[in-house]
Chains A and B, each alone.
Chain A
Amino acid sequence: MDINGRYFKSYLERQERLKDQSNAENAKKQHSKGKLTAHERIDLLFDNDSFEEIDAYVTPENQKYSFGKIKKSYGDGVIAGHGKVNGRLVFAYAQDFTVMGGSLGVVHAEKIAKIQEMALKMGAPIIGLIDSGGARIQEGIASLAGYATIFHNNIQSSGVIPQLSVIMGPAAGGAVYSPVLTDFTFMTNHTSYMFVTGPNVVKEVLNEEVSSDELGGAEVHARKSGVANMIYEDEENTILGLKKFLSYLPSNNVENPPVVIEEHQKPLTIDSLRDIVPDDPNKPYDVKEVIDQIVDCNSFFEVSEHYAANLVVGFARLNGHTIGIIANQPKVLAGVLDINSSMKGARFIRFCDAFNIPILTLEDVPGFLPGMDQEHMGIIKHGAKMLFAYSEATVPKITVILRKSYGGAYIVMNSKNLGGDFNFAWPTAEIAVMGPDGAVAILYRKELAEAEDPDALKKDLVRKYRDDVANPFIADERGYIDEVIDPATTRKKLITAFEALQNKWTKTPSRKHGNIPL
């Protein structure tokens, strides 16, 4: 073919026109809002020149029944394609706010659906970079149908390939459901928001003045609703975080997670682990310090950091292998389990289980949060989610009891009989039906009431209770704990234990799916 010939000329012209669409003016508009353009985001996400776009030249449908103006444009407001992230195949779509506000029309939706289906076929992760005004009003029912297809694809892919959503602008109405159907949602502070009904509707219906940020900003979703798993201050850091996050995940549910071998391996014995948990059972400490010391250097990636902070969850690497960590956080609400933390934990455990990520549980839990509020809101069924998720999970599961482990919470936190593969305890562990104070008050109510010096008697009984009942050695001797270990050796013990469990397989009964108490 002649490069100066007719066919080639129109080929080049089209290319020119496409380039012109993402012109400097549009970019400036986007930048002036503190946002990057869709192209810049894609560029930042993928390895050098590895992104291959598909359907770049599609145009919005000419519809008989359309209402209002539709701007003719190539791509219909979304970039879709595949490329390499850190050298691995990843599919992605990025909505382009500069084209009709990134609104979702029929063609736009078809493009997303197509890339979703491709990702599922190939068994590769898919990332949605969302920046869209919502359904394209002009195209009516057709655009709603488009959403439904996308949701259906989300659900079909769930548990098969990792799906990540990054909110980098508005996501309103139906658009919010795709991100929550995916595995993890990232948000950028101050420039992204998500809500089912926007501030205008809230004003009309309830006569409440509320800003987009207050109603569904990144902070709100990170702290209050738990919808956003990771938030960052700007888009560059959001995408950097996303790339780092991806490095923990396998491409699909058949593969194992990738392995990262660091040049400088941490020593296996870490003496400072002995100093973190205070002797006084009522003193708080930061369980993240324990995590940081056990896992590979700087490898802990926390998920949902600001939501239900009394339970810490996240990914880390142990000797280069990805593990999922669930840890009670004594620093917040004494690490108690409540509705929010149970849901947070349960969802995380199920993700790990779906994608062959072994689970490490670090336990220091005084129990479930008592009170009317929690009971009425259904802590029974929400707590059961965590129980269900732990028991259902077939990946390797190891628990280390750091300190408190009482009552129902002991059972829930991956106890031996719930299917824990290895259950270790530190010498500081207290395992019993309830805490010493409560137990003594119930068992010796009469004696305490009649005692001359009830305080002294109580102190005595509490001590006896700790010595005779609430210590790890009793549990160890009866086999409910596999071993009481020196905290300093925790890293070594865990590496060896996870290695031994590497090829663990348990057969689950044939069923369509279990019935988790939702």
Chain B
Amino acid sequence: MKRILIANRGEIAVRIIKTAKLMNIETVVIKTAAEPNAMYLAMADVVFDDTDDLSDIPAFLDIEKLIEIALKTEADSVHPGYGFLAENAYFAQKCVDNKLTFIGPSPDAIYKMGNKTIARKLALKNDIPMAMGSKGNVTSEEQALMVANQIGYPIIIKAASGGGGRGMRIAWHDEELPKMFNLASNEAAKAFNDPNVFIEKYIANPKHIEFQILADQHGNVIHLGERECSIQRKHQKLLEEAPSSALSEELRKEMGEVAVRIASAVGYYSAGTVEFLLDSAGKFYFMEMNTRIQVEHPVTEEITGIDLIEQQIRVASGEKLQLKQEDIQLNGWAIECRINAEDVQAGFAPAPGAIDKLIFPTGENIRVDSGIEQGSTIASNFDSMVAKLIVTGTDRQDALINCKKALGKVWIKGIKTTLPFFRMLVREPQFISGQFTTAFVEKEMEKFYFSKEEDEQIAAWLATKLFVDEQIADQDRNVDFEQGKRINPWILNKRLKQF
């Protein structure tokens, strides 16, 4: 492998370039009209200029075009990153067809795991614990009502080809089911071009635990431990940690083996993630497998010391895994905060804009993955990520202390971000205790942002001061009325004659 086309942007493009550099592999990136000054462009070896394309659909979603770019720039492989086409089996197949190495799993594995109905069948066959649900897709309100009553409320409606929380709706009783069914189906159709949905038992207040899988093309499958992703809002992850305080060594072993089993069943290779829900009784249910590198992969890297992008590249080039399950040691604790350009006080609404100042703390236990620099603009075309702040410690308590300190030192100006949310979160006793579920943020957190009692007064002082300053400026403004009367005789003469 000599040259990788990165079919992605932002933080993950930067992340891939960093590893590729270490491995002496060249990278090709795409310059789009939406962000022609993006940070990742400056780091890559080859930049393909696509700024002429003004269409709504970014190049990162245009399969034909990506293949064309790869061939034109003489790339021999394609890394899809996450999002966009990362879990598109057709894209992976197209790469294979054009003799491009797809840095990810096989098209077949993507297809099987991407289609939740097939994935569930596969899981059932392999004795993977699962929440009950509909057999196949649910196509009408009537059928949805029937299935829902069979498995019992609450139920969750999910897009058959979805992910990332889109096309998901929960219904608690018959009355709201038809509305939720239609919303989910419409959203699925718009987001994934596939209106198909299925229904599952909804497990209220579980923990979201996922296992990092690493597998090669020679049948070796291992797991790199779990990630705790229960801090989420509307199914969007906000903070992840590794490991999870909810798992005992035995449970870790048991869940890890199940994760490896489902990956093996689909003939998986590359890095992947098996997601579980873990209920308060310690019972876990397989949810889905993500056949890509995850946003939150750094926390696993931090506690295992393994570069997951490097492993992806090695596996893709056919190398055998050098690591055995028993080599995997989990050391210390890692926490990742997704600092997004969002207005926490307005329901986490995206708040794009230009970043005037961006200063991150540095240190032994701090890692910042970002595709944004001071002066950059968070465009509304793409996601709202500013940076991932990854903080490590010897144990959870230590990591939390470091995290709190680091959050206090981040300095961002120009946009609203989720920073105040994390500053609040790390002070929440329940979060600190580790006893929280996926419902914690939405149901139990009373305040979504951290502010000291006197903060409102300080800002009030500033507002009043600015008001006073403006009044004084208005008062002192030197309005020169006389100059308006000194008119050039040429024009004055004509102006007077006019009347």
Whether A505 contacts B494 by the Cβ 8 Å rule is yes
A87: CB under 8 A from chain B? yes
Nearest-neighbour CB distance to chain A for B46, whole angstroms, equals 23
Q: Which residues of B are found within 8 Å of A32, using beta-carbon distances?
A: none
Contact of A280 among B54, B354, B483, B492 (CB under 8 A): B54
Q: Specify which chain B residues have a CB less than 8 angstroms from the CB of A254 in the assembled complex.
A: 487, 492, 495-496
Task: Pick from A2-10, A258-266, A332-340 the stretch touching chain B.
Answer: A258-266
Residues of A within 8 A of B488 (CB): 502-503
Apart from the given pairs A240-B474, A280-B33, A503-B491, 4 other A-B contacts in the complex at a CB distance below 8 Å = A86-B479, A254-B495, A259-B480, A259-B484
Please give, as numbers and ranges, the residues of chain A lying within 8 Å of B354 by CB-CB distance. 275
Beyond A275-B377, A279-B33, is A255–B477 a contact (Cβ under 8 Å)?
Answer: no
Nearest A residue to B56, CB-CB: A280
Q: Are A256 and B484 in contact (CB under 8 A)?
A: yes
Please give, as numbers and ranges, the residues of chain B lying within 8 Å of A87 by CB-CB distance.
479, 481
Q: Are B478 and A256 in contact (CB under 8 A)?
A: no
A88 within 8 A of partner (CB): yes
Interface string of A248-289 (1 = CB under 8 A from B): 001100111111111000000000000100011100000000
- Cα distance, A464 to B478, chains bound together (Å): 53
Closest-CB distance, A244 to chain B (whole angstroms):
6
Interface size grouping (class) on chain B: 20 to 34
Within 8 A of A (CB), among B116-151: none
A280 to B488, CA, bound (A): 46
B477 touches A258 (CB 8 A): no
B443 CB–A CB distance under 8 Å: no
- Nearest CB on B from A356, distance (A): 8
Pick the contact of B481: A258, A262, A280 (CB < 8 A).
A258
CA of A261 to CA of B481 in the docked complex: distance in angstroms?
11
Q: Which of B37-66 contact A (CB under 8 A)?
A: 54-56
Interface residues of B in 349-366 (CB under 8 A from A): 354
Q: Are A258 and B483 in contact (CB under 8 A)?
A: yes
CB neighbours (8 Å) of B483 from chain A are: 256, 258-259
- Distance (Å) between the CB of B470 and the closest chain A CB? 8
**A108 CA to B55 CA in the complex, in Å?**
66
The 19 sampled A-B contact pairs (Cβ below 8 Å) are A88-B479, A254-B487, A254-B492, A254-B495, A255-B485, A255-B487, A256-B484, A256-B487, A257-B484, A258-B481, A259-B480, A259-B483, A260-B480, A275-B354, A281-B54, A502-B488, A502-B491, A503-B490, A505-B490
Query: Which partner residue on chain A sits nearest B482 by CB separation?
Result: A258
Name the distance in Å between B44's Cβ and chain A's nearest Cβ. Answer: 22
Check A247 for interface membership: any CB of B closer than 8 A.
Answer: yes
**A281–B55 CA distance with the chains assembled, in angstroms:** 10
**Which B residues are CB-close (under 8 A) to A256?**
483-485, 487
Most chain B beta-carbon contacts within 10 A, residue among A243, A279, A281: A279
With A275-B377, A279-B33: A261-B480 Cβ-Cβ less than 8 Å: yes
Q: Name A residues whose Cβ lies closer than 8 Å to a Cβ of B.
A: 86-88, 240, 243-244, 247, 250-251, 254-262, 275, 279-281, 356, 459, 502-505
Question: B490 contacts which chain A residues (CB < 8 A)?
Answer: 503, 505
Q: How far is the CA of A261 from the CA of B477 in the complex (A)?
A: 8
Number of A-B contacts (CB under 8 A): 63
What's the minimum C-beta distance from B50 to chain A, rounded to whole angstroms?
Answer: 12
Within the complex, the shortest CB–CB distance from B311 to chain A, in Å, comes to 39
A260/B491 in contact, CB under 8 A: no
Q: Is A260 touching B477 in the complex (CB atoms < 8 A)?
A: yes
A interface secondary structure, majority: loop
Which residues does chain B contribute within 8 Å of A279, judged by CB atoms?
33, 54
Q: How far is the CB of B438 from the nearest CB of chain A, in Å?
A: 36
> How near does chain B come to A453, taking the closest CB pair, in angstroms?
13
A261 and B478 contact, Cβ closer than 8 Å, known pairs A280-B54, A503-B491: yes
State in angstroms the CA–CA spacing of A512 and B92 once bound together: 78
Q: Tell me, rounded to whole Å, the shortest Cβ–Cβ distance linking A318 to chain B.
A: 15
A86-B479, A240-B474, A244-B474 known; A255 and B484 CB under 8 Å?
Answer: yes
Across the interface, name the chain B residue whose C-beta is closest to A247: B479
| B202 shortest CB reach to chain A, Å | 39
Chain B residue nearest to A249 in the complex (CB): B484
Across the interface, name the chain B residue whose C-beta is closest to A263: B478
Decide: B479 and A260 in contact? CB cutoff 8 A: yes
A contact residues around B479 at 8 Å (CB): 86-88, 247, 258-260
Q: CA of A280 to CA of B484 in the docked complex: distance in angstroms?
A: 43
CB distance from A312 to the nearest CB of B (A): 21
Q: Are the CB atoms of B484 and A247 closer together than 8 Å?
A: no
A86 vs B354: C-alpha distance when bound (angstroms): 38
A459 to B495: give the CA distance in the assembly, Å.
Answer: 54
Who on chain A is nearest to B477 by CB? A260
Q: How far is the CA of A356 from the CA of B494 in the complex (A)?
A: 13
A residues within 8 A CB of B496? 254
Neighbouring A residues of B478 by C-beta, 8 Å:
260-261
Contact of A247 (CB < 8 Å), options: B377, B477, B487? B477
Contact A251 B474 (CB under 8 A): no
Q: How far is the CB of B345 from chain A (nearest CB, A)?
A: 22
- Complex CA–CA separation, A261 to B54 (angstroms): 43
B77 CB, min distance to chain A CBs, angstroms: 29
A243 CB contacts on chain B under 8 angstroms? 474
Task: Give the 6 A-B residue pairs with the shortest CB-CB distance, closest first.
Answer: A259-B483, A256-B484, A503-B491, A258-B481, A259-B480, A258-B484
Q: How far is the CA of A257 from the CA of B483 in the complex (A)?
A: 8
Residues from chain B with a CB closer than 8 A to the CB of A503 are 488, 490-491
Inter-chain CA distance A262–B494, complex, in Å, is 31
Residues of B within 8 Å of A86, CB to CB, are 477, 479
**Distance between Cα atoms of A257 and B482 in the complex (Å):** 9
B residues within 8 A CB of A262?
Answer: 477
How far, in Å, is B37 (CB) from chain A's closest CB? 10
Distance from B473 Cβ to chain A, minimum over Cβ atoms (Å): 9
In the complex, chain B residues whose CB is within 8 Å of the CB of A258: 479-481, 483-484
Shortest distance from the beta carbon of B236 to any chain A beta carbon, whole Å: 25
How far, in Å, is A152 (CB) from chain B's closest CB?
20
